[in-house]
Structure 1
Amino acid sequence: MSEDPTGRLVVALDLDGITDKAGLMDRAARALALPDWFGRNWDALADSLGDPSVWPKDAAGRGLLLVVVGWRSYAEARPEEWRIAREVFAQASQRTPALTVALALGGSS
């Protein structure tokens, strides 16, 4: 985790090697330090992204920039799931001004 020039906490969601929804949910739970009760489904991900109270503590009052890296293999393996994931990211960002989700076009490192 780091900070961007605007002071937001930057968290990388590294999907390198992930080819299914369960893997995406596990990586999201780890990257965002989501609570044990995180439901590991699309609605739970949307709710968690849109709720600053469950974000990492360093994001409180600063905002969160979630950078999704290494996503291409998942997108190719599960295009319909990836479409849903992108919708979840976009809707959460629209609903929650303190959240920005960016898809990195480069590699995962």
Structure 2
Amino acid sequence: MSEDLTGRFPVALDLDGVGDKAGLMDRVARALALPDWFGRNWDALADSLSDQTVWPEGAVEQGLLIVVRGWQAYAEARPEEWRTAQDVFTEAADRTPSLAVVLALGRSS
């Protein structure tokens, strides 16, 4: 079953050069313009992804599409962290039908 992602508010989450969880959290916070009180841990990430009040302006009305690119090196270097990140993305999208997270294949550039 494929989901129609047309019309959603797109946000690029570029993980190129990210080497650890702290770097991942910083990139997410920057890409989504999360508030300063974002806790930079897995639970806070899941909560923020599911909390439409912290989404970028326009995303609530349209739905949010997060396109993760440049993730391959991080996934290879930190496979357990990457599995956790994928679980968090999946959990947030399952809880919030207007959220979709997709992994871009190919090189980030």
TM bucket (normalised to shorter chain) is over 0.9
Give the drift of 1:5. 6.7
Q: Write the letter of the residue equivalent to 1:71.
A: W
Secondary structure of 2:90's match?
A: helix
Provide the residue aligned with 1:87 in structure 2. 87
Q: Does 1:9 align with 2:19?
A: no
Provide the residue aligned with 2:101 in structure 1. 101
Give the Cα separation in 2 of the matches to 1:67 and 1:17. 16
Provide the residue aligned with 1:31 in structure 2. 31
Q: Write the letter of the residue equivalent to 2:49.
A: L
Give the Cα separation in 1 of the matches to 2:5 and 2:47. 26
Give the drift of 1:60. 2.0
Provide the residue aligned with 1:61 in structure 2. 61
Q: Deviations for 1:59-85, whole angstroms, at most 9, x for unmatched residues? A: 121100000000011001110000000
TM-score (norm. length: structure 1)? 0.93
Quick check: 2:5–2:65 contact (8 Å CA) kept in 1? no
Give the Cα separation in 2 of the matches to 1:31 and 1:83. 20
TM-score (norm. length: structure 2)? 0.93
Structure 1 segments of 4 or more deviating over 2 A?
none
Give the Cα separation in 1 of the matches to 2:6 and 2:76. 33
Give the Cα separation in 1 of the matches to 2:106 and 2:17. 15
1:5/1:36 Cα in 2 relative to 1: closer, same or farther (>3 Å)? same
What are structure 1's unaligned runs of at least 5 residues? none
Provide the residue aligned with 1:41 in structure 2. 41
What are structure 2's unaligned runs of at least 5 residues? none
Percentage of pairs with the same residue: 73
Q: Write the letter of the residue equivalent to 1:64.
A: L
